[in-house]
């Protein structure tokens, strides 16, 4: 047998052995990949199970906490709005976990920020479910509590925040952007939008219309410009149950104006209520 033949047979043998080794290694790698895929699937299943357990525990804990609360299922409903008198009628509803035989119940309520409580004595009910109607100012938010008084002790707990004015205030959205372009020029962009979608206001659009919007431009806390936004606003097509105003102007000043810019936007509606919004800069 010649040397070339021996060398050729040797190469063939080497390639066969190399292919077998590669096949074995690839087979092992394939098995390892299958194992990793199964491991990933197991981890995902475990993660899903942990999520279900967390959800169940949270729900059970919430139910347990609610069962332990003295005051349960509290909420309020707006029944009527009297814009002429600037009053709102609300029904406050709740239930109690228990009440002692010798306890007298009171509803306490006050304007947020006030220290003085007003109180109303409550009649007993067989199922410990209660509701009471209140006539409140539309210009205020209110805190409420339930107070139980017996001969030897008192106990109380928070009932419900009645956010009447907050609802009124949140119907107006305003975006005020002020940016210094040069030492004597400021770009001022203001967008005001009022939505009447809340049933509490939709019948009183005339009283709630925006009557004025003034922008006070300050540089280093010094008033340098006052802008009547409604008078100078660009017309914007209104959708049903909304008002919208948009204003943009480059304000120029004599001399250089360097410092911190602040714009205070004061909006006033037909009720005479003022809403303040402040500017921002990028």
Looking at the DSSP bridge assignments, the partners of residue 148 are 105, 155
Q: Report residue 234 as tokens.
A: 């660009």
User: Which has more pLDDT, 264 or 35?
Assistant: 264
CATH number of 171-278: 2.60.40.1930
The region that residue 69 occupies, defined by phi over 0 for left and psi between -120 and 50 for alpha, beta otherwise, is: beta
Which of the residue ranges 43-47, 100-104, 140-144 would you say has the lowest mean pLDDT?
Answer: 43-47
Delimit the domains of the chain by residue range: 1-68, 71-164, 171-278
Say yes or no: domain 71-164 is CATH 3.40.140.10.
Answer: no
Is 195 within 8 Å of 171 (Cβ atoms)?
yes
Asked if residue 260 lies in contact with residue 186, where contact means CB atoms within 8 angstroms, the answer is no
Q: Cα separation of 181 and 249, whole Å?
A: 12
Confidence check: pLDDT of 282 > 50: no
Residue 57 has pLDDT above 60, yes or no: no
CB atoms within 10 A of CB 243: 18
Within 13 Å, how many C-alpha atoms sit on residue 49's CB side? 6
Question: Dihedral sign, CA of 197, 198, 204, 206?
Answer: negative
DSSP H or E run through 246: strand 242-252
Q: How many CB atoms lie within 10 A of CB 187?
A: 14
**b/e code 192-230 from CB counts within 10 Å (16+ = b):** bbbbbeeebbeebeeebebeebbbebbbeeeeebebebe
Tell me, what's the pLDDT at 121? 95
Rounded mean pLDDT of 148-155?
A: 91
Write down the pLDDT at residue 135: 96
Residues 147 and 119: beta-carbon distance below 8 Å? yes
- Alpha-carbon distance of 47 to 55, in angstroms, equals 12
Overall pTM > 0.95: no
Q: Say if 71-164 and 171-278 have the same CATH topology.
A: yes
Q: pLDDT digits over 157-188, tens only?
A: 999 999 988 988 888 889 999 887 777 788 89
Give pLDDT tens digits for 62-74.
554 556 789 998 9
The model's pLDDT over 11-20, given as tens digits with 9 standing for 90+, comes to 666 666 767 7
**In which element (H, E) is residue 35 found?**
helix 3-68
Q: Which of 4-13, 33-42, 215-224 has the highest mean pLDDT?
A: 215-224
What 3-state class would DSSP assign to 62?
helix
The residue count of the chain comes to 282
């Amino acid at each position: 047998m010649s040397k070339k033949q021996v060398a050729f047979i040797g190469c063939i043998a080497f390639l066969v052995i190399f292919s077998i080794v590669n096949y074995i290694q690839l087979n092992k790698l394939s098995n390892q990949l299958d194992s990793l895929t199964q491991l990933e699937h197991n981890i995902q299943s475990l993660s899903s199970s942990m999520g279900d357990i967390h959800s169940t525990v949270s729900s059970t804990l919430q139910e347990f906490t609610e069962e332990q609360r003295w005051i349960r299922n509290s909420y309020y409903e707006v029944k009527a709005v009297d814009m002429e008198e600037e009053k709102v009628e609300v029904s406050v509803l709740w239930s109690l976990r228990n009440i002692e035989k010798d306890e007298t119940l009171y509803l306490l309520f006050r304007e947020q920020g006030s220290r003085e409580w007003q109180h109303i004595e409550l009649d007993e009910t067989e199922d410990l479910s209660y509701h009471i109607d209140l006539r409140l100012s539309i210009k205020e938010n209110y805190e409420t509590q339930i107070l139980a008084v017996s001969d030897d002790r008192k106990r109380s707990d928070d009932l419900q925040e009645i956010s009447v004015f907050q609802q009124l205030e949140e119907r107006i959205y305003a975006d005020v952007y002020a940016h210094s372009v040069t030492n004597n020029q400021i770009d001022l962009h203001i967008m005001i939008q009022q939505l009447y979608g809340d049933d509490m206001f939709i019948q009183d659009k005339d009283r709630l219309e925006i009557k004025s919007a003034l922008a006070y431009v300050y540089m280093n806390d010094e008033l340098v410009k006052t802008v009547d936004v409604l008078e100078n606003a660009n017309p914007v097509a209104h959708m049903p149950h909304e008002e919208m105003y948009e204003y943009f102007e480059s304000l120029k000043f004599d001399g250089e104006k360097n410092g911190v810019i602040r714009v205070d936007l004061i909006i006033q509606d037909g009720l005479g209520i003022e809403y303040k919004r402040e500017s921002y800069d990028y």
